[in-house]
Amino acid sequence: MNSTFTKILRVVLALILIIFGLNKFIDFSFMPLPQLPEGANFMSSLSASGYVLPLIGVLEIFIGLLLLFKKWVPFALLVLVPISLNVLLFHLFLDIPRVLPAIIIVSINAILIYKYWKSYRPLFQ
């Protein structure tokens, strides 16, 4: 669990989550909203709800900080699963040209869950 590879993946995923989480509150110009009509409509409806995007942003920042400071890492990885799967599905169905970052996030999450599998074993006994 404490290999250099695992540490690098954990820190990279943490930084990605913190940046994408902060983007929900601070508009970074290098991360524009999707240009497809379907994706823009979906994102504007989430934004219009008033709570969905801020909640996701807070969760992403919280999970990123947990991963960065190595606190409750197995818990943080499990909380990230539905968020990362929804990001992947959004890009697969509504914004396929920018699916690569979503694939990277899901892959890193899956690898880290595999690396921390010893922590999850009691859940399946």
Any idea what DSSP says for residue 30?
A: T
**Which pLDDT value is given to residue 106?**
97
Reference 13, options 80, 88, 75; nearest CA is 80
44-96 pLDDT, tens digit each: 777 788 888 889 999 999 999 999 999 999 999 999 999 999 999 988 988 88
105-122 pLDDT, tens digit each: 999 999 999 999 999 998
Q: What is the mean pLDDT of residues 19-46?
A: 73
**Which pLDDT value is given to residue 72?**
93
Phi-psi region of 70 (alpha: psi -120 to 50; beta: other; left: phi over 0): left
What is the residue whose two structure tokens read 């396929």? 96
- Report whether 109 contacts 80 (CB < 8 A): yes
As a 3-state breakdown, the chain gives helix, strand, coil percent values, each rounded to 5, of 80, 0, 20
